[in-house]
C-alpha cells in the first residue's frame, strides 16, 4: 500500500513514540546528577526539583513532544483527522521532498547531529558551571587530561592483542609457494598419454595469457579446472607442466595448508592466499593457483545432489551410453540415489572450521571494492570507491576423490571445467614406457614395448616407472646392466602378484591346483576372445593358491552378453574341471570363482537385460516391486514354471553354463592335462607360453610342441590317475611327475 492510500497514519513503534521523552528524561537525570555531584548537601529529590525549577525549557520541550505524540496518536486512529491534516499541511512534505533523497538524508543527519551537540553542551554546561557553548570546548580539555590513563588502558589492550596477532601471523605462514615463469622446467611434452586433457588445459592457459581473445567478445576467462581421476595418473605432473609452460606466476597450495590448530587460522590463510593471488594477478596480468589433493578441503557434509550429473559415467558403469541419453532430471535422480551414501561420508575433512566457506566466497564472492584507501579514505572524502579490476585467477584443483568435494565448490563460476584424468591411453602407455626405458639400457624391441603397453592396461606413469625400475633391479641382480624382456615380465609379475610365498605344495595338492588353474586357462583360451591370458601360476600368494590373470587386449568400453557368458564359463571351469578330473570331488578353492560367476549372472539377469526379463532389478528393489517372473519355456512342467524367482533363474543359468563348461573341458581334456603339467613344471607361465602349451606350438620360453604327442598325453594321463588315487588315499602318487624330455628322447 502506498503512503497516500492510507486512511490513517501508520502506527508508530513504542520506541519511536517515547524516544524523545526518554532522551529528555535522561538529560534531566544527568542534570540532576550534575547538581548532586556539585553540592554534597543535595538529595536526589531536591536536585530533581531544583533542575525542574531552574530549567523550565526541559518542560517546554517535553510538552511539545507530548503534543506531537498526541497528534500522531489521533492521526493513527481517526481517519478524518489524518486526511484533513494531510490535505492542509502536506505542502511541507512536498517542500521537503523537493530536496533530493541524498540531500534530505544528509540534511536530516546534520540536524540530528546538531540536536545531539546542543543537548550535550547543555549537560556539559551544567557539569562545568559554564555557559553551554563554552562547556562544549571544555570537554575536549578533560579528554586531553585523561589521555595518559587512556594511553595506559590502550597499552594493556594492545599488549594482549599483539600476542594473538603475532601468534596468528606466524601460524598463518607457509603452505603456499609461488613460482615464476621458468622456475620449473617441466613442460607439457613431459606428460604422456593424457593428450585430450592437456589440450583443454592448454586452452585454459591460452585464455589466461590472452584474455582479450575471449573478453572482447563478451565472455570471460574460465576461472577453475578440476582434474580428477585415479591416483598416479599424472594430475600433479600436469600441474607442474602448467607451471612450467605458463607465462604467469604459479601458486602451489599444499593440501595441508588449511589445517590449523586454531579456529580461524584456516580462514585467515584462505584470505591471505587470495590477497596474494589478487596482487600477483594485477601485477602479472593473471595467476594460476593449484590446489593439490583438493579433497583435503573437505565438504560441508551434504550429500552431493548430482548437480550437473558430474560423475554420471561412474554411476552408469561402462555401459555404452551412460546416462547421456536420459534427461537431466532422470540422470540426476539416478546419480543422487547412487551417491547418497558415499557422499555424506566425506563431511568435515581437513578444511573445516569455516575454511571451505571462506574459500567459496573468495572464489566467487561479492565483487566488492577492496583496500583501505579505496574504501575508507575515498568514502570519507565523499568519493565513491573504485570498482575492483578484473582479477584473472585460474584455480586448478586435483583430487582422486571428487565425491568428497563440496557441491558448491564445483559449480560453474568457481570450477568451470572438470576433466577426468583417467588411465593413460595405449599410445600414452607406449610413449611412457619408451620414455622411461630411454633412461636406462635395454634390449626391448618396439613390438615388445607395444606388447608391454597392451598387457598393462591400467598402468599409470607411476606404475610404469616402478616396473621399469624393478626390471632394472632384476637385471642387476643377475649381473647385467641392460634390461631384457624377461626382466620386465618378471618385474611385472612381481608387482602384480607380490613375492611368492615359497610354499612347497605336496605333490597331490600341487597337481590339484595345477588342474584347477589349467581348467581356467584352457577355458579362457578356448572360449574367451575379449580377454587374453596375462599369466598363469600355481605359486601360492598371500591370498590365493594359484591364478590365471587376464587382460583386455584393446581399450574396450562396451561389454556383451557372450563375453559375460564366457567370463562365467571361465569362472565355473574350475568347479566343473575339478569334478571332471577328480571323479565328482571338488575343493573349497572354487568359492571365489563361484562368487564372481554368481555376481555376473545376477547382473546379467537382473540389471543388464541379458536374461529372460527386461526390467532392472535395481529399480524394482528401490520401489519394492519385487522381481518379475521369467517366462519359462512352454510345455515345461508346472514345477519348472514356478521356479521363476530371480535367484532361481540365476541358479538355472549358472547350472546351464556349468554343464556347458564341463562339456568343453571334456573335449579339451588333453589340453588341460598339458597345461597342468606345464604349470607343475614351471610354476608360472606368461600368457604367450600358456597359449603355446595349449596350441602345442613353440612359445617364447616354453616349447609346447611335445604336448601334441599322444605318448606324452598318455604319460600325463597315467600320472594324473596316480595323483587321483593318491588324492583319494591321502598318500603320495606312486609315479614321479612326468618328465617330458626323457619321454621325448625315448620317442
Partner 1 sequence: MKARALSLTMASVLLLSGCAQSSQRYASNKDVGAYFTVPTEWTKINQKVLHKAEITGATAAGREKANLVLWQEAYSKVPNILPKEIFGLIPTEHPIAFTRVRQLTIEESNGVSLNSLRDLIIPVTKLYAGESSVVTDFVLLDDEEIIEKGARGVRTTFSFTPPGALNETVKQTALISADRSTLYFFIVRCSTKCFKANSDEINKISDSFTVRGLQ
Residues within the interface to partner 1 (CB under 8 A): 14, 18, 21-22, 24-25, 28-29, 38-43, 45-46, 48-53, 58-59, 62, 129
Q: Going by DSSP bridges, is the β-strand pair 684-686/393-399 parallel, antiparallel, or unpaired?
A: unpaired
**646-667 vs 507-527: helix crossing angle, rounded to 10:** 100
* Residues facing residue 176 across a β-bridge: 253
The H or E element spanning position 398 is strand 393-399
Compute the least distance from the CB of residue 73 to partner 1, in Å.
13
Give long-range contacts, CB 8 A cutoff, 24+ apart: 195-198: 195/425, 195/428, 197/227, 197/238, 197/419, 197/420, 197/421, 198/238
- Cβ atoms within 10 Å, residue 16: 11
**Residue 342: which region, alpha, beta or left (left: phi > 0; alpha: psi -120 to 50)?**
alpha
Interatomic CA distance for residues 584 and 731, integer angstroms: 19
Nearer to partner 1, 25 or 478 (CB): 25
Which residues lie below 8 Å from residue 415, measured CB to CB, with a gap of 6+? 224, 225, 226, 395, 397, 409
Cα–Cα distance, 632 to 612 (Å, whole number): 8
The per-residue DSSP string of 41-105 comes to T--HHHHHHHHHHH-HHHHHHHHHHHHHHHHHHHHHH-HHHHHHHHHHHHHHHHHHHHS-HHHHH
Neighbours of 178 (CB within 10 A): 14
**DSSP assignment, residue 537?**
E
Grid cell 537385460 is found at 609
Backbone angles phi, psi at 583, to 5 degrees: 55, 50
Bridge partner residues of 533 (DSSP): 550
Q: Could you write out the DSSP letters of every residue in 215-261?
A: HTTT-----EEEEE-STTSSHHHHHHHHHHH-SS-EEEE-TTTT--S
Cβ-based nearer residue to partner 1, 62 or 664: 62
Smallest distance from the beta carbon of 63 to partner 1, in angstroms?
9
Smallest distance from partner 1 to CB 365, Å: 39
Q: Would you say 52 or 541 has its CB closer to partner 1?
A: 52
**Which residue from 177, 412, 405 is spatially nearest to 294, judged by alpha carbons?**
405
Q: Is the dihedral of CA 342, 343, 344, 349 positive or negative?
A: positive
What is the distance between the alpha carbons of residues 391 and 285, in angstroms, rounded to a whole number? 8
DSSP assignment of 18-32: HHHHHHHHHHHHHHH
Q: What is the DSSP string of 273-289?
A: HHHHHHHHHHHHS-EEE
Answer for the pair 482, 443: CB distance below 8 angstroms, yes or no. Answer: yes
Shortest CB 13 distance to partner 1, Å: 10
CB nearer to partner 1: give 46 or 209.
Answer: 46
Pairing label, strands 417-420, 287-291:
unpaired
Nearer to partner 1, 69 or 434 (CB): 69
Nearest-approach distance from CB 45 to partner 1, in angstroms: 7
- Report, in Å, the least distance between residue 50 CB and partner 1: 5
In this complex, which beta carbon is closest to partner 1, that of residue 23 or of residue 587? 23
| Nearer residue to partner 1 within complex by CB, 18 or 618 | 18
* Cβ within 8 Å of residue 172, ≥6 positions away: 260, 265, 268, 269, 272
Task: Provide the minimum distance between the beta carbon of 49 and partner 1 in the complex, in angstroms, as a whole number.
Answer: 5
CA distances from 452 to 230, 593, 598 (A): 21, 27, 32
What is the C-alpha separation between 394 and 242, in angstroms, rounded? Answer: 11
Residues in the chain: 747
What is d(CA 540, CA 546) in angstroms, rounded to the nearest whole number?
6
Minimal distance, residue 31 CB to partner 1, in Å? 10
- Residue among 49 and 68 whose Cβ is closer to partner 1: 49
Q: Which of 494, 468, 496, 492 is nearest to 482 (CA)?
A: 468
Amino acid at each position: 500500500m502506498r503512503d497516500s492510500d492510507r486512511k490513517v497514519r501508520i502506527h508508530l513503534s513504542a520506541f519511536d513514540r517515547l524516544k524523545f521523552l526518554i532522551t529528555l528524561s535522561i538529560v534531566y537525570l544527568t542534570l540532576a546528577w550534575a547538581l548532586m555531584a556539585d553540592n554534597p548537601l543535595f538529595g536526589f529529590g531536591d536536585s530533581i526539583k531544583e533542575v525542574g525549577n531552574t530549567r523550565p525549557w526541559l518542560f517546554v520541550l517535553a510538552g511539545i513532544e507530548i503534543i506531537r505524540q498526541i497528534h500522531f496518536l489521533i492521526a493513527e486512529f481517526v481517519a478524518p483527522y489524518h486526511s484533513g491534516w494531510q490535505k492542509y499541511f502536506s505542502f511541507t512534505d512536498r517542500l521537503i521532498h523537493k530536496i533530493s533523497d541524498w540531500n534530505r538524508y544528509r540534511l536530516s543527519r546534520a540536524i540530528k547531529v546538531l540536536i545531539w551537540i546542543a543537548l550535550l553542551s547543555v549537560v556539559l554546561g551544567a557539569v562545568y558551571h559554564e555557559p553551554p557553548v563554552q562547556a562544549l570546548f571544555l570537554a575536549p580539555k578533560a579528554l586531553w587530561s585523561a589521555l595518559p590513563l587512556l594511553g595506559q588502558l590502550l597499552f594493556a589492550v594492545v599488549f594482549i592483542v599483539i600476542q594473538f596477532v603475532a601468534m596468528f601471523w606466524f601460524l598463518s605462514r607457509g603452505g603456499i609457494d609461488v613460482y615464476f615463469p621458468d622456475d620449473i622446467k617441466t613442460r607439457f611434452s613431459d606428460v604422456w598419454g593424457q593428450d585430450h586433457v592437456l589440450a583443454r588445459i592448454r586452452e585454459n592457459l591460452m585464455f589466461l595469457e590472452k584474455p582479450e581473445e575471449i573478453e572482447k567478445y563478451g565472455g570471460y576467462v574460465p576461472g577453475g579446472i578440476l582434474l580428477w581421476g585415479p591416483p598416479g595418473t599424472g594430475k600433479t605432473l600436469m600441474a607442474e607442466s602448467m607451471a612450467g609452460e605458463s607465462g604467469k606466476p604459479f601458486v602451489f597450495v599444499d593440501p595441508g595448508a588449511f589445517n590449523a590448530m586454531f579456529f580461524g587460522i584456516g580462514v585467515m590463510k584462505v584470505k591471505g592466499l587470495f590477497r596474494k593471488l589478487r596482487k600477483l594477478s594485477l601485477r602479472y596480468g593473471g595467476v594460476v593457483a593449484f590446489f593439490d589433493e583438493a579433497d583435503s578441503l573437505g565438504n560441508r557434509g551434504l550429500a552431493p545432489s548430482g548437480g550437473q550429473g558430474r560423475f554420471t559415467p561412474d554411476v552408469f558403469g561402462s555401459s555404452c551410453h551412460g546416462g547421456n541419453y536420459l534427461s537431466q532430471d532422470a540422470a540426476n535422480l539416478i546419480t543422487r540415489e547412487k551417491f547418497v551414501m558415499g557422499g555424506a561420508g566425506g563431511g568435515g575433512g581437513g578444511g573445516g572450521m569455516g575454511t571451505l566457506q571462506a574459500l567459496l566466497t573468495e572464489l566467487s564472492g561479492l565483487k566488492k571494492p577492496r583496500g583501505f584507501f579505496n574504501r575508507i579514505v575515498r568514502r570519507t572524502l565523499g568519493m565513491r570507491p573504485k570498482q575492483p579490476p578484473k582479477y584473472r585467477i585460474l584455480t586448478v584443483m586435483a583430487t582422486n576423490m571428487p565425491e568428497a568435494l563440496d557441491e558448491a565448490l564445483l559449480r560453474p563460476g568457481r570450477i568451470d571445467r572438470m576433466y577426468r584424468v583417467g588411465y593413460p591411453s595405449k599410445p600414452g602407455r607406449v610413449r611412457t614406457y619408451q620414455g622411461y626405458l630411454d633412461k636406462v639400457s635395454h634390449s626391448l624391441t618396439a613390438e615388445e614395448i607395444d606388447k608391454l603397453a597392451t598387457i598393462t592396461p591400467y598402468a599409470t606413469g607411476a606404475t610404469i616407472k616402478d616396473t621399469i625400475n624393478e626390471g632394472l633391479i632384476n637385471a642387476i641382480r643377475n649381473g647385467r646392466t641392460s634390461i631384457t624382456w624377461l626382466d620386465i615380465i618378471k618385474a611385472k609379475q612381481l608387482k602384480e602378484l607380490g613375492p611368492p610365498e615359497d610354499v612347497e605344495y605336496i605333490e597331490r595338492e600341487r597337481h590339484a591346483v595345477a588342474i584347477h588353474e589349467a581348467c581356467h586357462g584352457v577355458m579362457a583360451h578356448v572360449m574367451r576372445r575379449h580377454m587374453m591370458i596375462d599369466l598363469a601360476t600355481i605359486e601360492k600368494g598371500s591370498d590365493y593358491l594359484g591364478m590365471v590373470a587376464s587382460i583386455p587386449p584393446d581399450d574396450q568400453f562396451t561389454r556383451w552378453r557372450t563375453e559375460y557368458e564366457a567370463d562365467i564359463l571361465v569362472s565355473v571351469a574350475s568347479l566343473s574341471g575339478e569334478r571332471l578330473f577328480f571323479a565328482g570331488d571338488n575343493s573349497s578353492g572354487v568359492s571365489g570363482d563361484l562368487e564372481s560367476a554368481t555376481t555376473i549372472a545376477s547382473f546379467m539377469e537382473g540389471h543388464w537385460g541379458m536374461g529372460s526379463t527386461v526390467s532392472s532389478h535395481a529399480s524394482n528393489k528401490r520401489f519394492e516391486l519385487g522381481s518379475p517372473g521369467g517366462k519359462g519355456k512352454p510345455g515345461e512342467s508346472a514345477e519348472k514354471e514356478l521356479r521363476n524367482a530371480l535367484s532361481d533363474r540365476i541358479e538355472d543359468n549358472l547350472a546351464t553354463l556349468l554343464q556347458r563348461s564341463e562339456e568343453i573341458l571334456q573335449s579339451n581334456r588333453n589340453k588341460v592335462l598339458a597345461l597342468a603339467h606345464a604349470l607343475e613344471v614351471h610354476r608360472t607361465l606368461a600368457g604367450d607360453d600358456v597359449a603355446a602349451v595349449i596350441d602345442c606350438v613353440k612359445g617364447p620360453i616354453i616349447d609346447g610342441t611335445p604336448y601334441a604327442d599322444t605318448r606324452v598325453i598318455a604319460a600325463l594321463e597315467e600320472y594324473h590317475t596316480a595323483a587321483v588315487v593318491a588324492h583319494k588315499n591321502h598318500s603320495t602318487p606312486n609315479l614321479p611327475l612326468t618328465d617330458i624330455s626323457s619321454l621325448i628322447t625315448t620317442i
